[in-house]
Amino acid sequence: MVMKGKKGIILGIANKKSIAYGIAKACQEQGAQMAITFLNERFEHKLAPIAEDLGCGAKLYPCDVSKPEEIKALKDSIEKDMGQIDFIVHSIAFAPKEGLSGRFYDISKNAFDVAMDISVYSLIEIVRELKPVLSDNSSVLTLSYYGGVKYIPNYNLMGVAKAALEMTTKYLAEDLGRDGIRVNAISAGPIKTLAASGIGEFSFMLKWNAAHAPLKKNVSIEQVGNSGMYLLSDLSAGVTGEVHYVDAGFNIMGMPAVAFNEEGKQTIAWNGEPK
């Protein structure tokens, strides 16, 4: 029970397919107590059974990260109901649809600002506002994707946001290390979630990743959840500012591997289909 005695807040559970749910489950299984947040009243009733499922200690608070007053109120609720906490999971991203397909250079300033505000600035603001309730041995985790490092078709605006998020993770890690707060990111492989369904041709991304990753399959929210739990726990006490890939190894590939059978005959075509 490596999370026994740990308390934390998880932002970004939309449903049981969310990556944040995978992380919450892994933390619960290891003995953590958690609070979770919902975006607005429309989502409150959907998340109530999930809060229940995550254990009697799971509390449910509103938090739209585009509203600074809701982040401040979240801190007050945590202070009142939980006292100090030991971890924060920031599993939130949003870009207007125009930013997730088509020509990149067509993006409007408004779409750019919204994506950066919700997907990047929110991490800084949450950490700053919640810092008074963070213990001096705490861990913050955010979620990134390989499209913040290399070009991925249609990921467009979110790729730029993830690049900024990964650097934000490093600058926060240095800034907060002196306060005993670690900040890390997981760069997860593609997973079919609500947010992912907004990305153009996402099912192709899933097929491509599974065909070309060393493990020849996609990752699950359980796998990301377990790695997330490790980064939130004291098992990773010496780790901060890291972007940890949980992507079946896809990021190490410089070129799609061409598989050969024992007779030396090619078995996988360039497009990942069996040959």
Q: How far is the CB of 213 from ligand NAP (least distance, A)?
A: 13
Length of the chain: 275
Our answer to whether residue 121 is catalytic in this structure is no
Task: Say how many residues touch ligand NAP, by CB under 6 A.
Answer: 27
Q: How far is the CB of 37 from ligand NAP (least distance, A)?
A: 7
Out of 6, 10, 12, 231, the only residue in the binding site for ligand NAP (CB under 6 A) is 12
Catalytic residue among 21, 61, 146, 155: 155
Tell me which residues in 19-48 interact with ligand NAP (CB under 6 A).
19-20, 39, 43
Our answer to whether residue 155 is catalytic in this structure is yes
229: region left, alpha or beta (phi > 0 left; psi from -120 to 50 alpha): alpha
What x/- string results for residues 121 through 150 when contact with ligand NAP is judged by CB under 6 A?
A: ----------------------xxx-----
Q: How far apart are CA 68 and CA 70, in angstroms?
A: 5
CB burial of 23-52 (b: ≥16 within 10 Å; e: otherwise) equals bbbbbbebebbbbbbbbeeebeeebeebbe
Q: Is 85 in the site for ligand NAP (CB under 6 A)?
A: no
CB burial of 142-153 (b: ≥16 within 10 Å; e: otherwise) equals bbbbbbbbeebe
Q: How far apart are CA 189 and CA 45, in angstroms?
A: 30
* 18 annotated ligand binder: yes
Residues that bind ligand NAP (CB under 6 A): 12-14, 18-20, 39, 43, 63-66, 91-94, 118, 143-145, 188, 190-191, 193-196
